[in-house]
Amino acid sequence: MRNILDFLYRFRFFLLFITLEAISIVLVVRNNGYQQSIVLTATSRFTGRIQQSYERVMSYFSLRYTNEALMAENALLRAQLRNAFFEDSRTMFYQEDSMFMQRFTYLPADVIRNTASRRNNYIVIDRGRKHGVEKNMGVFTSDGVVGIIRSVSDHYASALSVLHNDVRISSKIKRNGYVGTFRWEGGDVSRGWMTEVPGHVDLQAGDTIVTSGYSLIFPAGIPVGTIEDFELKEDEHFYKIRIKIAVDFRRMDHVYVVKDLMRNEFKELKEPVNE
Amino acid sequence: MNNVIISNALRFLALLAIQVLVLDHIYIGGYLNPYIYVLFILLLPFETPGWLLLLSAFSMGLSVDMFNGTGGVHAAAATWMAFVRPSVLRLISSTREYEPGLKPGISYLGFQWFFSYSLILIMLHHFLLFLLEVFSFRDFGDTLLRTVLSSALSFLLVLVAQYLFYRRN
């Protein structure tokens, strides 16, 4: 017994080191499973409040940019109002309710925590379970796709940013509709890659890439980025396309969370195929 | 003695605030993240007992983690840095004894000493940090590159802080 205590005492520095490292690693691993703990740690009551007041101050600095973005969006929405259209077919408007069913709903939210400097980046927003946010909902701004909700607490939710190893966005080339997969591969936060576009497709630098709508997360047509460059290796059948990401992840204040009201219906259709 | 504790506690808070409120919001090229909070561990007095060294580094790392939502990567890296600090000190002190009252800083031990002392420790810290952040040996070259570039930046900040605040008297 004495010897054991002696041993413990002699190596107390090392043992304490091992203990503290073990605690840290457990925290890392638990966090890497990115389930609840991201929200719990990033938005625990104390740090959450400090972050929020920080964001409140910092949001003033991007007011100009935010205003421009809102103006642009207002203009876009105005163009979709009924009075912006020439009423060509009178019957159409009267049948609107029974012809069109709401599929997507949108919830505005403020970003209270956003990283862009890591290999795997997250966004925390100030809307959570109480506001109807659920796992796997899409997040975007008026500029384009931002991320996918990963975990939700009562008042906050955290999303995997597009700048995350595990995020792939099913997207298509707006001009001709060919579908591929968009993914960020580290490094520059404004460049990503699109793959799985077959080699016979006609591509042009500057083509817009939008979401395909196949994923049950985003509606079709939300901007992802624009083609900057592409190459087709000799013995390969698919392009490797360099994309300039539409969203500037270094300044982001207001986002929308999109909910697909028919998600469950689609999932029911999909499930038997998977089995 | 009380004085030492208070000044280190104040340094803890000040560096933590600078780290999480300013530096964590700076993005340079997707690769460079400066971490000034390591200065706290660098500047702990020589006579700090081992357990206190480890615990204060751990709590510094954990605080940064809590603000960043990164689990325990900073805690692990900071504890590791505190663990190797005595060995690094032994490694580079061959010419001069650490007398009581001497503090680890440029003004006490000179530029050359401080250069090797802080650069070695910062590199060790950043390497573990970025490795844990990716949590795999994939993209290892990328991790190394981030370690080198970010270490250089952190080191530069540490030097600036030294010349700004720690002139002798």
- Cβ A31–B70 below 8 Å, yes or no? yes
Specify which residues A231 forms β-bridges with: A240
Partner-chain contact B65 A116, CB within 8 Å:
no
Give the one of A12, A42, A250 whose C-beta lies nearest to B27's C-beta. A250
Closest CA to A243 of A176, A197, A177: A197
Which distant-in-sequence residues (6+ apart) come within 8 Å of A54 by Cβ? B21
pLDDT at B85: 92
Q: Does A187 touch chain B (CB under 8 A)?
A: yes
Is residue A269 within 8 Å of residue A214, measured between CB atoms? no
Q: Which residues have CB under 8 Å from A96's CB, separation 6+?
A: none
According to the model, what pLDDT value does residue A100 have? 63
Strand partners of residue A191: A244
Judged against a pLDDT cut of 60, whether residue A87 lies above it is answered with: no
Q: Which residues of B touch A25 (CB under 8 A)?
A: 72, 76, 132
Distance CA B150, CA B41 (A): 17
| Band of residue A85 on the pLDDT scale cut at 50, 70, 90 | low
Burial-class residue B15 by CB neighbours within 10 Å (0-12, 13-18, 19+): buried
In eight-state DSSP terms, residue B93 is: -
ipTM of the modeled complex: 0.82
Residue that has been written with the tokens 């990503």 in this structure = A192
pLDDT for position B94: 55
CA separation, residue B36 to residues B77, B142, B157 (Å): 13, 22, 7
Along the 169 residues of chain B, how does pLDDT read in single tens digits?
Answer: 678 889 899 999 999 999 988 887 776 666 678 899 999 999 998 888 889 999 999 999 999 988 877 778 999 999 999 999 999 988 886 556 666 667 787 777 888 888 899 999 999 999 999 888 877 667 788 888 888 989 999 999 999 988 887 665 4
Interface test with A, best of B53, B79, B130, B143 (most A CBs within 10 A): B79
Chain A residues in contact with B142 by the CB 8 A cut-off are 119, 186-187
Is some CB atom of chain B closer than 8 A to the CB atom of A216?
Answer: no
Question: Residue B22's pLDDT is what?
Answer: 83
pLDDT reading at A54 higher than 80: no
Query: A93 falls in which pLDDT band (50, 70, 90)?
Result: very low
Cβ–Cβ contact A29 with B under 8 A: yes
Answer yes or no: do B51 and A12 touch at CB < 8 A. Answer: yes
Q: pLDDT tens, A184-234?
A: 887 788 889 998 888 888 888 899 999 988 888 888 889 999 999 888 888
| Cβ contact B132–A26 (<8 Å) | no
CB B129, CB B77: distance < 8 Å: yes
Cα–Cα distances in angstroms (integers) from residue B165 to residues A100, A151, A234, B107, B124, in the given order: 67, 43, 60, 10, 25
Query: Does an H or E element contain A7, and which?
Result: helix A2-10
Please give the C-alpha separations between residue B89 and each of B77, B94, B95, in angstroms, as whole numbers. Answer: 18, 9, 12
